[in-house]
Structure 1
Amino acid sequence: MYTLILSIASSVAVSVLLKLARKHDLQVDQAIAVNYVVAASLCLLLLRPQPAALLASGTSWWVLAALGVLLPTIFLAMAGAVRHAGIVLSDAAQRLSLFLPLIASFLIFNETLSGAKLGGIAVALVALACLLYRPGGKAGSGETGKTIFFLLAVWVGYGTIDILFKQMAKSGAAFSSSLFASFVLAGILIFGYLIARRSVWTRRNVVAGVILGLLNFSNIYFYIRAHQVFPENPTLVFSAMNIGVISAGTLVGAGFFKEKLRWVNALGIALAIAAIVILIPR
């Protein structure tokens, strides 16, 4: 069970680090760039990918290229969501993104649509609407628009990334090799962006990037290990991970950072957990 706890803690800790970035004057783009160096190195060391296998003719290079672009882009969107919407709503939006690959499984991968899955998707969409709900604020402030934009970007972005990894798996590529290649491509892209901007590096941003990379990879690694520890019960891993992140994110965001939730947003959190429960295979 410690693998699940560590994966959940790492996921929430990423949001906490992004939350603290502005307070400590950290350049998030530099931290994200270093993060991919650390994550790729750990992936190579611990997951033993076989990058040469990707040179096979069946490799979907367009999928890898898309992942290379989306990974750093959506990471930046997550940072924006945490900054404008807070940890609670950002983590919930990220976890609700799992329903996009579920929809894709029916439309793209030709899986059967059951009543329970359809009900789970419906509840998830209502939950998302509750999370995005913002009553009219100050005219022209633009804050409401930014909050909705970043939360939607997180939802669509992480869901699309999941779909792309499923597409890679369908093409026969090993997850570890695809993950390593995606980290490398994402790192090249964001480092190129920073070089083009002539970004001035600081030690604190590099240190933050190392910590971010450790947390980011730990989230992935311990999630994989949890599936290996509970090979006969993937439902436990699925439900515990998603419900755990939403619950822990709520406790940390509302408890430690004093993030205020409107009743409709709190309803969205509850509905998000309910949607995940509905989708647990019986």
Structure 2
Amino acid sequence: MIYLALSVLASTLIFIIFKLFSKYNVDTLQAIVVNYIVASVSGIIAYSEPIDLSSVSGKGWFFGAMILGIIFISVFNLMAITTQRNGLSVAAVATKMSLVIPIIFGVIAYQESTGIIKILGIIIALIAVYLTSIKTTVGIPITKKNLIFPVLVFIGSGVIDTSIKFLETHYVAKNDIPVFSATVFGFAAIVGIITLVYKVITGTFKIAFKNIIAGVILGVPNYFSIYFLIQALRHDSMDSSTVFTINNVAILLVSTFAGILFFQEKLTFKNWIGIILAIISIILVAFSI
């Protein structure tokens, strides 16, 4: 449970840093690319054995990590587009509700336990995600022409969690978690660097020192959010459906309180109902272990 709590705290710290990006006008793309580089380096430093590129490329998880890294930065860009076209609430709901994808995968592929209490907890969690994320009294408006973006964020986020579970179960040895994480972030960084090079060529790129600093600050908690999540998934006392439900809902819950505490965010009545339901869902899912 300690790894799950640490994953939630690291992910909440990412939320706080992202909020500060807008306050200090940080170029998100530049910071994200630097963040992936720092996260990759963090994994390399944490790896207890010497790095052998030929050995790493021969690992069973290598190509999966490569694809996962590409999906990482692709989903991030889709989240940015969703936020711009549909609003932050839509992006938050699409991201957190994607937990149903790894849950269904875990139940089907690994015959993970299901029961009335857990199913009820998961359903309540989904309702809590929606109610906690919406910041208006009218709900979440989505135009048909922009519907594709939250749908892709939903699918992409679900694929990321499912892929992490699959690779962790079948290919990643315990000692390989740092270098596996470093490889995922490394490929995400490569795609980001290529994007920045394209911007340099087209004359639309202007680097700023504050963007580099922001990326460095973001990179360390980003690495540990994945590292601790993988460690939580490896724990024998909890299956993946339990981990993903508690992880996603707890991140939303703690992030909401962080928004109130540090950014004076105001909550609607629906948000408070969502918070109460989120707490209930965590208790139900945890009780079903």
Provide closer, same or farther for how the CA distance between residues 221 and 110 of structure 1 changes in structure 2, counting only shifts above 3 A.
Answer: closer
Equivalent residue number for residue 170 of structure 2: 171
**In structure 2, what is the equivalent of residue 278 of structure 1?**
284
Paired residue total: 270
CA distance in 1, matches of 2:104, 2:2: 31
- Among the aligned pairs, what percent are the same residue? 28
In the TM superposition, what is the alpha-carbon distance from 1:226 to its structure 2 partner? 7.9
Q: Secondary structure at the match of 2:10?
A: helix
Find the counterpart in structure 1 of residue 28 from structure 2: 28
| 1:150-175 Cα distance to aligned partner (Å, 9 max, x none) | 87666544332110112212432333
Q: Alignment partner of 1:259: what SS? A: coil
Shift of residue 188 of structure 1? Answer: 0.4
Partner of 1:12: 12
Alignment of 1:223-242 (within 5 A): none
Aligned to 2:220: 214
Deviation at 1:206, TM superposition (A): 0.6
Unpaired runs of at least 5, structure 2:
none
CA shift in 2, pair 1:126/1:248, >3 Å: closer
User: Normalising to structure 1: TM-score of the pair?
Assistant: 0.75
Please state if 1:85 is matched with 2:88.
Answer: yes
Bigger Cα displacement from structure 2, 120-129 vs 241-250 = 241-250
Return the match for 2:254 from 248, 252, 255.
248
Query: For the aligned residues, what is the CA RMSD?
Result: 3.9
Partners of 1:57 and 1:23 lie apart in 2 by 42
Secondary structure in 2 matching 1:216: helix
Q: Which residue of 2 aligns with 1:266?
A: 272
**What does residue 118 of structure 1 align with?**
119
Is contact 1:96–1:272 with CA below 8 Å preserved after alignment? no
Give the Å deviation of 1:250.
1.9
Partner Cα distance (1:26, 1:232) in 2: 41
CA gap 1:127/1:226 in 2 versus in 1, 3 angstroms: closer
Give the whole-Å Cα distance in 1 for the aligned partners of 2:61 and 2:246: 32
Output one character per residue of 1:23-61: Cα deviation in whole Å (capped at 9) or x when no partner: 212100100100111111110111347664554484472
| Matched-pair contact (CA < 8 Å) for 1:85–1:151 | no
TM-score (norm 2): 0.73
Give the Å deviation of 1:197.
1.8
Matched residue SS, 1:43: helix
